[in-house]
Amino acid sequence: MVEVTLWGSLAATAGGNSKVEIEAKDIRELFRKLAEQYPGLEPWIDQGIAVAIDGTIYRDTWSKKLPEGAEIFLLPRLAGG
């Protein structure tokens, strides 16, 4: 079980919850279960969400493991220049 923190706008889509507990071993499972529990998040996941694991931001590595007790933070997927 990992605790996942959602940024402000995303929390509104997840019924106002800024922190949710999810049983997930990697980013792929995290997104799948988030979409199941909070269908409003699905379009956001489709558009792209970045996942910060203990401060390191992952945008595309959906196989990245979520270590027990790690800080998991969802962030907008940003553009660069």
Partner 1 sequence: MNFDPRFSGRKFTSVGTRPIRPDGIDKVTGRARYGADFNMAGQLVGRILRSPHAHARIVKIDTSKAEKLAGVKAVITAADLPDLTDGDAAMYDVLDNCMARTKALYDGHAVAAVAAVDARTARQALKLIEVEYELLPHVTDVDEAAKHTAPLINDTIFTEGLEEKPVKPSNVTKRSQFGHGDVHQGFGHADFIVERSFKTEQTHQGYIEPHACVANFSSDGTADLWVCTQGHFVYRQHCAQLLGMEASKLRVTSSEIGGGFGGKTHVWAEPVALALSRKAGRPVKLVMTRDEVFRASGPTSATSIDVKIGARKDGTITAAEATLRYSCGPYAGSWAEIGAMTAFACYKLDNVKTVGYEVLVNRPKTAAYRAPSAPMAAFAVESAVDELAKKIGMDPVDFRIRNAAQEGTRSSYGPVYGPIGIGPTLEAVKSHPHMKAPLGKNQGRGMACGFWFNFGGQTCTDLNIGMDGSVSLAVGTVDVGGSRASLSLVAAEELGIDYAQVKAIVADTSSLGYNDMTDGSRGTFSSSMATISAARNAIKILRERAAQMWDIAVDDVVWEKGHAIAKGEKHGNLGKLSLKEIAVESGKTGGPIAGHSELVADGAGVSFATHICDIEVDPETGATRVLRYTVVQDAGKAVHPTYVEGQYQGGAAQGIGWALNEEYIYGKDGRLQNPGFLDYRIPVCSDLPMIDTQILEIPNPNHPYGVRGVGETSIVPPLAAIANAVSNAAGVRMTHIPMSPPRILAAIEAVREWSK
Among residues 1, 55, 68, 69, the one that binds partner 1 under rule CB under 8 A: 55
In whole angstroms, the minimum distance from the beta carbon of 4 to partner 1 comes to 11
The answer to whether residue 42 forms part of the interface with partner 1 (CB under 8 A) is no
| Residue 59 is a binding residue for partner 1 (CB under 8 A) | yes
Question: Residues 45, 76: contact at Cβ < 8 Å?
Answer: no
CA-CA distance, 63 to 40, in Å (whole number)?
Answer: 23
19 counts as binding partner 1 under rule CB under 8 A: no
Interaction of residue 39 with partner 1, rule CB under 8 A: no
Residue indicated by tokens 């997927």: 77
74 to 33, 63: CA distances (angstroms): 14, 16
Question: Which among 77, 58, 68 has a CA at the least distance from the CA of 3?
Answer: 68
Residues that bind partner 1 (CB under 8 A): 5, 7-9, 12, 52, 54-61, 63-64, 71, 73, 75-76, 78-81
